[in-house]
Amino acid sequence: MAFGVIIIGDEILSGRRTDKHLPKVIELLSARGLSLEWADYIGDDPQRIVDTLRRTFASGDIVFSTGGIGATPDDHTRQCAATALGVPLELHPEASVLIQERIREMHPANSPTPLDLDSPDNRHRLNMGTFPRGASIIPNGYNKIPGFSVGDHHFVPGFPVMAWPMIEWVLDTKYAHLHHAMPHAEKSLLVFEMPESTLTPLMEKIERDFPGVRVFSLPSVGDAERGGVYARRHIDLGVKGEPEAVAAAFVKLREGVHQLGGDIIEPAVAEAPSSAGKPR
């Protein structure tokens, strides 16, 4: 089961807000021995949201969706999820209780006006608890207004202070059995002043010889800000996958680069002050 994330909001695409969810989701998954396979950014376009959710519901992936679950005119995610599933929106009974608790908490104790849960404003607030039929709630420790889950899709607010603990709750409550279930390792080296085209046949051979191991190549024209050996043109070349296979594949990768005449250094050495600027 692959993990994916959908980040919804015009404000992200316009630059009015900078997305912080993607790196945080990667961090939360990594801490549990899991990894993110894909990410989609979508504006507040209902049809595009529906189309995306239809595709991801059919994928079988575990998906986190952030943003758009409020009750203002630019919030469409709840409605779009229901449309994508072909079910109606319904007021969730647990969500109704939690939202009313929040309304009571927010009502000033010294207010001259008695609390009226049936006022138009408070009835409108209950819309935040209308979810696709069959949904379950995701607790929100910040203000009690819950998110919701439908199958392996989990919908949380756009606010990081709410969304991130809710995502953690989902990971630790629903997917604890997946934590560190698949051992994973990654090893790489820096290759200097060599084009990727020269390395490509070696990369293809490694993947043929070690099924399940994936090779990656991250070229850089040089990072002057980072300095040291990283200021030189280089490629971060490595392998990732099952630890034993990665260890064996890395030996062959390193040998292959040497045979090609590559000037290399391993990143751990590159970070050491005594080795800066001294590739082996």
Q: What is the pLDDT of residues 226-237, one digit of tens each?
A: 777 778 889 999
Q: Is the pLDDT of residue 19 over 90?
A: yes
pLDDT at 102: 94
**Order of all β-strands in the sheet with 36-42:** 36-42, 3-8, 62-66, 153-156, 147-150, 136-138
Instruction: Tell me the CATH number at 257.
Output: 3.30.70
Q: Please check whether residues 86 and 192 belong to one and the same domain.
A: no
Residue ending a domain, choose from 146, 178, 210: 178
**Distance in angstroms (rounded) separating the CA atoms of residues 126 and 108:** 19
pLDDT at 232: 85
pLDDT at 272: 37
What's the pTM? 0.83
Q: Please check whether residues 199 and 270 belong to one and the same domain.
A: yes
Please report whether residue 280 resides in a domain.
Answer: no
Burial degree of 134 (CB within 10 A; 0-12, 13-18, 19+): middle
Answer with the residue of higher pLDDT: 264 or 148. 148
What's the whole-number mean pLDDT along residues 249-270? Answer: 85
Q: Is the pLDDT of residue 182 over 90?
A: no
Q: Is the Cβ–Cβ distance between 153 and 65 less than 8 Å?
A: yes
Q: Please check whether residues 195 and 98 belong to one and the same domain.
A: no
Instruction: Tell me the CATH number at 112.
Output: 3.40.980.10
Please report whether residue 27 resides in a domain.
Answer: yes
The tens digit of pLDDT for each residue in 84-122 reads 999 999 999 999 999 999 999 988 888 888 888 889 999
Total number of domains constituting the chain: 2
9-12: long-range contacts, CB 8 A cutoff, minimum separation 24? 9/43, 9/44, 9/67, 9/68, 9/158, 10/43, 10/44, 10/74, 12/41, 12/43, 12/67
Buried/exposed 110-120: b ≥16 CB within 10 Å, e otherwise: eeeeeeeeeee
Q: Please check whether residues 223 and 136 belong to one and the same domain.
A: no
- List C-alpha distances in Å: 166 to 23, 153, 215, 222, 270: 16, 13, 34, 39, 38
What's the whole-number mean pLDDT along residues 215-233? Answer: 85
The tens digit of pLDDT for each residue in 47-70 reads 999 999 999 999 999 999 999 999
Please report whether residue 144 resides in a domain.
Answer: yes
**Distance in angstroms (rounded) separating the CA atoms of residues 113 and 107:** 9
**DSSP string across 146-168:** -EEEETTEEEE-S-HHHHHHHHH
Q: Please check whether residues 14 and 138 belong to one and the same domain.
A: yes
pLDDT at 269: 44
Which pLDDT band, with edges at 50, 70 and 90, does 267 fall under? low
Please report whether residue 261 resides in a domain.
Answer: yes
Q: Is the pLDDT of residue 250 over 60?
A: yes
pLDDT at 69: 96
Which pLDDT band, with edges at 50, 70 and 90, does 204 fall under? very high
Please report whether residue 22 resides in a domain.
Answer: yes
Q: Please check whether residues 209 and 249 belong to one and the same domain.
A: yes
**Distance in angstroms (rounded) separating the CA atoms of residues 52 and 46:** 10
Q: Is the Cβ–Cβ distance between 266 and 215 less than 8 Å?
A: no
pLDDT at 188: 95
The region of weakest confidence among 79-88, 104-113, 129-138, 169-178 is: 104-113
What's the whole-number mean pLDDT along residues 251-268? Answer: 89
What's the whole-number mean pLDDT along residues 19-31? Answer: 97
Domain around 167: 3-178
Please report whether residue 70 resides in a domain.
Answer: yes
Q: Please check whether residues 147 and 24 belong to one and the same domain.
A: yes
Residue 170: which of 130, 136, 200, 197 has the closest Cα? Answer: 136
Which pLDDT band, with edges at 50, 70 and 90, does 4 fall under? very high
Residue ending a domain, choose from 124, 152, 178: 178
